[in-house]
Structure 1
Amino acid sequence: MTESQQLIAELKTQLKLRGVHYADIATALDLSEGSVKRLLAEGNNISLERLERICQLIDLEMSELFKLAYAQKQGLTALSYQQEKELIDDKALLLVAVCVVNGYTFKQIAEQYQFNEPDLIQKCVQLDRLGIIELQPNNRFKLKVAKQFTWIAGGPIQSFFQQQVQHAFFNSYFAAEDEKLVMATGLMSLPSNQKMQQKMQKLVGEFYATCQSDNELDIKDRHGTSLVLAIRRWTFPLFAEREANASQCKK
């Protein structure tokens, strides 16, 4: 993501937090709603004057917007082992963490999962202390997790996923229109494997960018969606057994 794209992405986040819609911006800029959508979608073509007027609309200094965009770019890339364990030990906290990462607002979390305000504020305070969000006035929060965020290999979160989530996720024929399962096997060198991993990471970035663009839609039009990518040097057990037997016969 370029710096200008990062800036526009942060601007959209701040607009959403303040409940400002394209129609409000259109009125402020004396443009059609469609023009505003194109302006923010393209990003590179927005003038500083228009950017400043949008910032004024949401009572945000342009300098602060640049700082927020930079902070998001430098966001948290990993938690410590103890921090991951804290999430796993409190399933309600884990639920709230997943919600904020997925773009839920405070109100949406409270309504969908029936949290009372004091309890949800307490969870948000914990997430602020963990560095996952920055708690702001009026029950708003800013996500501080970088797009390159990863869990500790073999850590509490990954172990939880493998023990309790993995089976539930793959318990499907992946035949619905919003499902797809693909598996590929072949012979690959280590350098090629590493190139594939880079492409996988790029796809993850596109996944999150798509989720962010859908933030403009009503919550009822968006659905929890998970993407699982994995690659490793591996052979089907049946094949591995025959290879081992063949090797023994050659000796």
Structure 2
Amino acid sequence: MSASHDIVIALKIELKAAGITYAELARQLGLAESSVKRIFSRADMPLSRIDDVLRVLNIDFAELAQRIADSQPLLHQLTLAQESAVVADRKLLLIAISCLSHWTFDQIVATYTFTVAECQLHMAALDRLGIIELRPMNRYRLRLAKTFRWLPDGPVMAFFRQHVTADYFNAGFDDEGELLMLVHGQIGTSLANSFVERLQRLGQDFAQQHLADQRLPADKKRAYTLVVGMRSWLFAAFEDLKRQP
């Protein structure tokens, strides 16, 4: 769906919410009602006319744009086909992860060995997959919700288990701002979900701080990766020692 179509739909919603009919809008714009109906039916409106309608609604374009963004459905998970397409190309997966971290186009090109054209090509692929919405000047809007998760047993998590897990945990976790903690115990099953929710909020806090610190100079930031997990599990090395009921 085009951006102009989204704008016209949003204007229709705002007019209805304000109780302004096409007849009333036509009167305030100095147009015939038939002309107003024709403009909206085409779903293609020049910027000057959009400004006129916004003045009648007493809102500015930034407010309208925000309402359009807020109304767009965000994905909480990808389909198996979408994940398979992402993980099939290592470069595409890297750019997808960068977009999930809200990196700008310039940051991606400056950090990795992508040419501008190559990065544009991969971001266009992410747009077709519905993961981002490309915008002018190499900008984009992430179409994933804050609560987004890769499929637990999907292709991306399989890739991470095979290629990333051992590399991640093969460290002392003793540097500044690092921690590895393993806590084992038994708790009421009714409390397990509440712990999961608190861990999810921790992940969201980390993501929000990442966004807030984008304004910091490069020498004041450092890349960190937060891994959070909780499951009902017994060490495989001790499985044979467990007393069977």
When normalised by structure 2's length, the TM-score is 0.70
Counterpart position of 1:123: 122
The residue matched to 1:135 in structure 2 has which SS?
A: strand
Q: Describe the shift of the 1:122–1:155 C-alpha distance in structure 2 as closer, same or farther (beyond 3 A).
A: same
The separation in 2 between residues aligned to 1:154 and 1:113, in whole angstroms, is: 28
Mapping 1:85-104, distance limit 5 Å: 85-104=84-103
Per-residue displacement from partner, 1:93-147 (whole Å, max 9, x unpaired)? 1111111111211112112213222211111101111111110111111112111
Gaps of 5+ in 2: 1-59
- Among the aligned pairs, what percent are the same residue? 31
Q: How many residues align?
A: 186
Counterpart position of 2:175: 176
CA shift at 1:65, angstroms? 2.1
The separation in 2 between residues aligned to 1:133 and 1:238, in whole angstroms, is: 43
CA shift at 1:201, angstroms? 1.0
Give the structure with higher Rg (CA).
Answer: 2
Q: Does 1:64 align with 2:100?
A: no
Q: Describe the shift of the 1:220–1:95 C-alpha distance in structure 2 as closer, same or farther (beyond 3 A).
A: farther
- Per mean C-alpha deviation after superposition, the further-off stretch among 234-243 and 208-217 is 234-243
Per-residue displacement from partner, 1:190-230 (whole Å, max 9, x unpaired)? 21111111111111111111111111213453332111111
Gaps of 5+ in 1: 1-58
The residue matched to 2:133 in structure 1 has which SS?
A: strand
Counterpart position of 1:166: 165
Cα RMSD, aligned residues only: 1.9
CA shift at 1:238, angstroms? 5.1
The residue matched to 2:206 in structure 1 has which SS?
A: helix
The separation in 1 between residues aligned to 2:159 and 2:104, in whole angstroms, is: 25
Counterpart position of 1:46: none
The residue matched to 1:61 in structure 2 has which SS?
A: helix
CA shift at 1:150, angstroms? 0.8
When normalised by structure 1's length, the TM-score is 0.69
The separation in 2 between residues aligned to 1:134 and 1:105, in whole angstroms, is: 13
> Higher relative contact order at CA 8 Å, sep ≥6: structure 1 or structure 2?
1
